[in-house]
Structure 1
Amino acid sequence: MAKKESGLHQQVVDHMMKEDAFSNWLGIEVIDIKEGYSKIKMPVRPEMVNGLGIAHGGIAFSLADSAFAFACNNRNNLSVALDVTISFIKAVHIDDELFAEAVEIHNGRTTGVYLITVTNQRNEQVALFKGTCFRTGKNLVNK
């Protein structure tokens, strides 16, 4: 269950999760939401493994991308990815529980920059994701 910060930030993320079939398929759970910040988690299931017997890189990427989206949109300013990079640091396995924490580095009028750290249940860093978003100026939810 997410820590509830009353107000708009949580309302925006709740709306996003309700409409986000992919994050729901991944099994993402929102842990914490603050202005320009998010922390989420998900389990790694057998259908997420590649031909090498480890989690497909898209799994850690997708978790980080969802944390990025929740952090950069939670001010109710529709924001889309402009540029992202990821470094895979450690292999991810079935039954791992992954956590992604998105921290705002820059909050500009039209862009934002976020650093997302992905860790496993042993608090070992498995990936580092950096994302730049473009802010459209449109609302996601009615105030």
Structure 2
Amino acid sequence: MIQKEKTNEQLVSSNLSLSKFSQSIGITLEMATKESARLHLIPNKEVINAFGIIHGGIIATLADTCMGMILRAANIPAVTLELAINYLSVTKPGDKLIAEGKVIHFGGSVITTQCLISSDNGRKIAFAKGTFFHYKH
């Protein structure tokens, strides 16, 4: 897990905003720096699948958003090239999900990140790897 230490870099978070889509499903930004980010989501019953558990697409969106916010904090215009996710446990409406992401490698135009999503009681829900393309305007 990522340490929650206060640094000057965390001030970047106050200048960032989530996309309207991320906001619409309830994602909240806690902090983002050029190396890590922490977001959370308390999913409601509107995002369950046919089995009554949180839809995997919501969890994937949380992971992708978390990793992307790091790049936004670093002022790097980037788009997702690949998102790989392993679902480790199910989760239900009302469970607080915490996404903690970090950069693994800043390449020239390709950036590799990872994200662990856990419940607030420490249960691991999903692990994701994101590959992003740094595009130049």
Q: CA RMSD in A?
A: 1.9
Q: Which amino acid aligns with 2:16?
A: V
- In structure 2, relative to structure 1, the CA distance for the partners of 1:56 and 1:118 (3 Å cut) is same
| Superposed displacement of residue 73, structure 1 | 2.6
SS across alignment from 2:64: helix
Partner residue in 2 for 1:13: 16
**Superposed displacement of residue 109, structure 1:** 1.9
The one-letter code matched in structure 1 to 2:27 is: I
1:117 maps to 116
SS at match of 2:125: strand
- CA 1:109–1:98 in 2, change beyond 3 Å: closer, same or farther? same
One-letter identity of the residue aligned with 2:32: I
Match of 1:24 in 2: 23
Give distance in 1, aligned partners of 2:89 and 2:10.
Answer: 37
TM-score under structure 1 length normalisation: 0.84
- Residue 126 (structure 1) aligns with: 125
Check 1:137–1:9 CA distance in 2 against 1; reply closer, same or farther (3 A cut).
farther
Q: 2:78 aligned with 1:79, yes or no?
A: yes
1:59 matched residue in structure 2: 58
Residue 102 of structure 1 aligns with which residue? 101
Following superposition, the deviation at residue 116 of structure 1 comes to 0.4
Q: Separation in 2 of the partners of 1:137 and 1:10?
A: 23
TM-score in terms of structure 2 length = 0.88
Amino acid at match of 2:102: V
Which secondary structure does the structure 1 equivalent of 2:13 belong to?
helix
The offset of 1:10, in angstroms, is 3.0
Counterpart of 2:94, as a letter, is D
Alpha carbons 2:13, 2:30 under 8 Å: kept: no
* Aligned equivalents of 1:8, 1:133: Cα separation in 2: 24
- Show CA shifts across 1:78-125 (max 9, x none): 000011100000001011010111111001121110010000111111
Confirm or deny: 8 A CA contact 2:33 2:74 kept in the other structure: no
